Amino acid sequence: MAATLLLWSIRVLALLMLAVSLLPMIPSGQWWIQLWEFPRFQLSVAIIVPLALLAVHAWWNQPRTEHVVWLAVILATGAWQLSHILPFTPVWPTEVPTAETQSGGDRTALTVLTANVTYTNDHYDELLAMVQREDPDLLLLIEVDRAWAEGMAPLDEHYAHRVGEVRGEGLGIMLWSRFPLLEQEIKHLISDRRPSIFVTLDVPDIGPVRYIGTHPVPPGLQDQISHNDETSERRDSRVRDAELMLVARHVQEDSDNRWIVTGDFNDVAWSDTTRLFADLSDLKDPRRGRRLLSSYPAERPFLRYPIDHLFVSDGFHLIGLDRVRVPGSDHFAVTATLAVANKDHAKPGASEEEERKAQEMVEEGAEDAAEHDVSSSQAD
């Protein structure tokens, strides 16, 4: 009886893990499908459980053909999950080259820090101390409401330039910069509730650098999105995906410039959407070939996912990359120090299939925003 129960437990666990591993391959924006894209690292570790149970059952009952079949299913599931994780480990080639050490300290470099502060948090002084300690040249804070804007007012003494939009409900976003802003604009790419920051920085010794800070809506968020309905519902991924594709298009249309894009994408680094974003824009992820740098939720180590991102174009090499505890927030900040390098790589064009898929995402996201009466008048 115990052996039979154990075997059925193995069957159910193996099939369940296989199903949730493959579920994100379904071309759907439904949040309960897309959320299974997030825990691939956790699922790759959890594979140990059915493997151990299978070993115990085979030891009790002598190995037979069914054990081999389930072993193959479990190992294939684990390999599928690991194929998404391994590119973010040192066994993989790096996308962004490591900056070569130069004597004299005369290499042009800039430090970027991106932090989702969590708008219900009130650790203003502690965050100011963290920013002072890290001393970034560019500081992007996400979920800045009026209280956070007031709490961060001392930053204006250290940063000559500030741009952003203060909003409640975790929707505000602000950028502080030591570099002059040649151009600045707040865009609402798909939803009028979600601002993104577009600026051109005048960086000494290299000239203009284009920068985007963004915070798309997370799939699964229980959000009151209709102005005409007091009820709330969980969001799917269509608006998020559309916003990321439109950011990629902006980069794609001006690929001769240097680019930095940061933000809380509310999407993991290995997802099809984020990889399509990178392919269309030809931006590089400095985590690839180095480390996963999972950033959320900060208070639950085993459940963390890499959803806070920094992408850079050709023309930057990496000096340092890390995450930093944000006092009171459920996110870690991501900080990177970049060295300016020659911009000499030809940009490969996106395939027709990638362009078609991106256009479909934009159209579906616009439809979703229109259905919930949050369409942006700036939507492309």
- Amino acid identity of residue 254, one-letter, is D
Whether residue 206 is contained in a domain is answered as yes
Residues 117 and 17 in one domain: no
What pLDDT is stored for residue 268 in this prediction?
A: 96
Domain for residue 101, yes or no? no
* Same-domain check for residues 131 and 67: no
Whether residue 226 has pLDDT greater than 70: no
Check whether 71 has a pLDDT greater than 60: yes
- Residues 183 and 47 reside in one and the same domain: no
Both tokens of 164, joined, read 């952003």
Q: State the pLDDT confidence band at 380, using cuts at 50, 70 and 90.
A: low
CA distance 320 to 336: 5
Is pLDDT larger for residue 61 or for residue 277?
Answer: 277
The lowest-confidence range among 93-102, 128-137, 204-213, 245-254 is 93-102
What's the CA gap between 135 and 324, in Å, rounded? 12
Residues 77 and 115 in one domain: no
Q: Tell which wins on pLDDT, 51 or 234.
A: 51
Reported as a pLDDT band with limits 50, 70 and 90, residue 368 is confident
Whole-number Å distance between alpha carbons of 108 and 340: 6
d(CA 380, CA 166) in angstroms, rounded, equals: 23
Stretch among 30-34, 96-100, 200-204 having the lowest mean pLDDT: 30-34
Domain boundary among 24, 56, 88: 88
Residue 75 maps to a domain: yes
Of 242-256, 265-279, 362-376, where does mean pLDDT reach its minimum? Answer: 362-376
The tens digit of pLDDT for each residue in 286-306 reads 999 999 999 999 999 999 999
Q: Are residues 215 and 360 in the same domain?
A: yes
Over residues 178-193, mean pLDDT = 95
Residues 169 and 73 reside in one and the same domain: no
* pLDDT recorded at residue 64: 86
Shared domain for 179 and 232, answered yes or no, is: yes
Mean per-residue pLDDT of the chain: 91
pLDDT of 98 over the 70 cut? yes
Average pLDDT over residues 228-251: 82
- Is residue 95 in some structural domain? no
Q: What is the pLDDT of residues 268-288, one digit of tens each?
A: 999 999 999 999 999 999 999
- Asked if residue 97 belongs to a domain, the reply is no
Distances (CA, A) of 155 to 30, 136, 151: 40, 11, 9
Each residue's pLDDT tens digit, 131-143: 999 999 999 999 9
Q: What is the dihedral of CA 48, 50, 55, 58, to 10 degrees?
A: -170
Task: Supply the pLDDT for residue 225.
Answer: 46
pLDDT at residue 106, as a whole number: 54
Nearest to 11 by CA among 53, 60, 64: 53
Token pair of 50 as six digits: 């059915």
74 and 138 share one domain? no
* Global pTM value: 0.92
Beta bridge partners of 186: 197
In a domain, 272, yes or no: yes
Tens-digit pLDDT profile for residues 321-364: 999 999 999 999 999 999 988 876 666 678 889 999 999 999 98
Distances (CA, A) of 224 to 230, 231, 237, 302: 7, 6, 16, 30
Domain count for the chain: 2
Residues 247 and 116 in one domain: yes
Region 3-31 average pLDDT: 90
The residues pairing with 223 across neighbouring beta strands, listed in sequence order, are 233
Q: Among 88, 117, 142, where does a domain finish?
A: 88
CATH number at residue 319: 3.60.10.10
Same domain, 287 and 229: yes
Question: Do 144 and 48 sit in the same domain of this protein?
Answer: no
Query: Is 22 within a domain?
Result: yes
Q: Is the pLDDT of residue 208 over 80?
A: yes
For 196, counting Cβ atoms within 10 Å of its Cβ (0-12 exposed, 13-18 middle, 19+ buried), the class is buried
Question: For residue 319, is it within any domain?
Answer: yes
Domain assignment of residue 35, given as a range = 2-88
Among 38, 54, 88, give the residue marking a domain's end.
Answer: 88
Q: Are 193 and 281 part of one and the same domain? A: yes
CA gap 380, 378 in Å, rounded: 6
